[in-house]
Amino acid sequence: MTAKSIQQFLAAARSAVRSGLKSTSGRILLVTGNESADLDSFASSLLFAYLTYSHAESRMGKLNGYEDVIPMLNIPREEVSLRPELHYLLTKLRMPESDVICKDEFLASIDRSKTDKVDVVLLDHNNLGSELGDMFGKNVVAILDHHTDEGFYKSAEPRIIAPVGSCTSLVVKYFDHYFRLGPDEFSTSDEQKDVAWLGLAPILVDTANLTSKQTQEDIDAVAMLVRVVSAGIAGVGGEKEGYYSELMAAKRSIDSFSLRDILRKDYKEWLEDNGIRVGISSSVKSLVWTSKKFGWEGVKTGIESWANERKLDAYIFMDSFQDPEEGYRRDLLVSVCSEKGNVRVRKFLDSAQIEFQLEPFSEKDCLGMLNNDKDGLWCFKQRNLKASRKQVAPLVRHFMQE
Ligand SMILES: [Mn+2]
C-alpha cells in the first residue's frame, strides 16, 4: 500500500481488499468502529487508520510493520444506504462510497483459517461483537473509546477509554502532532484540511456543535481542527456552523425510509451470557412522527417483527429531536419481546422511571400510543435529557444479566 492523501489511502485499502487479503504475506491491521457505524465510528476509525499508516515510521515501533492497514465500517454493504449523513460526508471529501470497506467485504477477503495474521484496533467501542470477537478477540492491540469500559483486552496499547463527547476527539488528541499548528504556521495543505474536515464532522454532531456533552477534549479538538481547515484562508469563521447544519440536515433526511430501516439504521444489540438478547434503536425522528407516518398499529407490528427477526427478549426505541414547543426532547419506548424478557424488563422499568425521569405521554400527544401493561409495551417522555443510549444500555443490560 502506498498513498499520500486520505482519499488515496482509502482507495488503496479498498483495492487491497478487492484483490484479496488472503494473498498478502504480511500482517494486517484492522481498524474498526462499532456496529452503529455512525459518523463517529466511521471517522474515528478512518482517521486512526490513515494517521497510523502515514506516520508509521515516526511512532517509534508502535503499530507499525503492517503490510495493510484496513479501516472497516462495521456493517454489511447493504446498510450503508441507511446513513445519509455518511453519504454527505463522503461527497464533501470526494471519496466514492464504493471505497468504504464494509464488514462483509473484509471477511470475504481474508483467509478465515489464518485470523492470527490480523491485529485489531477498536475505535468507539471496547468489546468486539460476537462474530468478529470469536475470530479476532485475541488480537486486539489498541483501543480508543468513550463508552463504559467493559474491562476487556487489558494489554492493548494504547488503551484509552474516556467519557468524552466524541471518540474522534480522542483520536485527534492522540495524533495532535499532525493537527497542531506551530505559532508560525499559517498555512496547511489541502490533504491536511480534508483530514481535519473528517475529524470535525462527528465531534460537531455528537456535541450538537459544542453545546451538549462536550468535554475539554472535544473543545480542544474542534479548536485545533478549525485552525487547520481555516489556515491560509482570509475572512473565515462561519464554515463550522454551515457544516454542522448540513450534516444534521443530512442525518435527519430519512423521510423515504421504511419503518424497518428506521429501526435498524442506528441499532445496537447485546447478547448476555445467560442467552438474553436486548436491542436498542436510536432515531433522529420522534416517536410521534414515526407513529403518524406508519400508524401506531404499524409501529407495534414493525417492532414485533424486528424483535422476531433479531430473536430479542427486550427491545428499546429511543428518539432525540427538536420539539417546536418544548425544544430538545427525548422519548423512550420499552417492549417485552419474550417470556424470559418479561420480568427483567419490568425490573428495568422500575429503575429507569426514576433514573431517566420517565413521564407517560399525555392524551393529546399519544396518537394511540397508550402504555399497555398487558402487551408489555410502554412509551414515555424522557425528562432526563442527558441520558443517551450510552447511559440506557448499561442499565438495561444490568437487569438482562440477572
Ligand atoms: Mn461514539
CA of 12 to the centre of ligand 1 (A): 26
**Residue 84 CA, ligand 1 centroid: distance in Å:** 17
Distance 168 CA to ligand 1 centre (A): 8
- Over residues 165-183, the mean pLDDT reads 93
For residue 41, the CA-to-ligand 1 centroid distance in Å is: 6
What is the whole-number distance in angstroms between the Cα of residue 367 and the centre of ligand 1? 33
Please tell me the distance between residue 320's alpha carbon and the centre of ligand 1 in angstroms.
16
pLDDT at residue 234, rounded to an integer? 66
Instruction: Enumerate residues 6+ apart whose C-beta is below 8 A from 393.
Output: 268, 270, 280
Residue 279 bridge partners (DSSP)? 269, 315
User: What pLDDT was estimated at residue 396?
Assistant: 97
Q: Please tell me the distance between residue 377's alpha carbon and the centre of ligand 1 in angstroms.
A: 28
67 Cα–ligand 1 center, Å: 28
Which grid coordinates belong to 43? 471517522
Q: How many CA atoms lie within 13 A of 356 on its CB side?
A: 30
Q: Tell me: pLDDT of 324 over 80.
A: yes
Helix axes 190-206 and 239-252, enclosed angle (nearest 10): 60
Find the 124 Cα to ligand 1 centroid distance in Å: 5
pLDDT at 182 over 90: no
CA of 208 to the centre of ligand 1 (A): 13
Cell of 68: 495493510
CA–chain centroid gap for 343, Å, is: 30
Q: How many residues does the chain have?
A: 402
Q: Give the distance (Å) from ligand 1 centre to CA of residue 166.
A: 5
Interval between CA 144 and ligand 1 midpoint (Å): 10
Please give the distance, rounded to the nearest whole angstrom, from the Cα atom of residue 146 to the centre of ligand 1. 7
Report how far ligand 1's centroid is from the alpha carbon of 393 (Å).
14
This prediction has a pTM of 0.89
Q: Is residue 49 within 8 Å of 279, Cβ to Cβ?
A: no
Q: Pseudo-torsion of CA 73, 75, 78, 81, nearest 10°?
A: -60
pLDDT category at 175 given cuts 50, 70, 90 is very high
Query: Average pLDDT, stretch 325-329?
Result: 91
CA of 27 to the centre of ligand 1 (A): 28
Task: Decide if pLDDT at 62 tops 70.
Answer: no
User: Comparing C-alpha atoms, which of 76, 83, 80, 141 is closest to residue 108?
Assistant: 76
pLDDT at position 24 = 86
CA of 37 to the centre of ligand 1 (A): 9
CA distances from 337 to 110, 129, 315, 333, 375 (A): 37, 22, 7, 13, 9
pLDDT in tens, 367-392: 777 677 778 999 999 999 999 999 99
398 alpha carbon – ligand 1 mean position (Å): 21
Q: Tell me what the mean pLDDT of segment 38-44 comes to.
A: 97
Angle formed at CA 260 by CA 257 and CA 266, multiple of 5 degrees: 80
- Please return the burial class of 395, using the count of CB atoms within 10 Å of its CB with bins 0-12, 13-18 and 19+: middle
pLDDT of residue 197: 97
Q: From ligand 1's centre to the CA of 160, what distance in Å?
A: 13
Mean pLDDT of 272-288: 96
Per-residue model confidence as pLDDT tens digits over 296-314: 999 999 999 999 999 999 9
> How confident is the model at residue 374, as a pLDDT?
78
**Percent of residues, the chain, with pLDDT higher than 70:** 95
Task: Tell the residue number behind the cell numbers 476527539, with chain if given.
Answer: 169
Q: Which residue spans within 107-187 are E strands per DSSP?
A: 118-123, 140-145, 159-161
Residue-averaged pLDDT of the chain: 92
Considering only CA atoms, give the Rg of the chain. Answer: 22
Ligand 1 geometric centre to CA of 40 (Å): 5
Query: How far is Cα 280 from Cα 319, in angstroms, rounded to an integer?
Result: 11
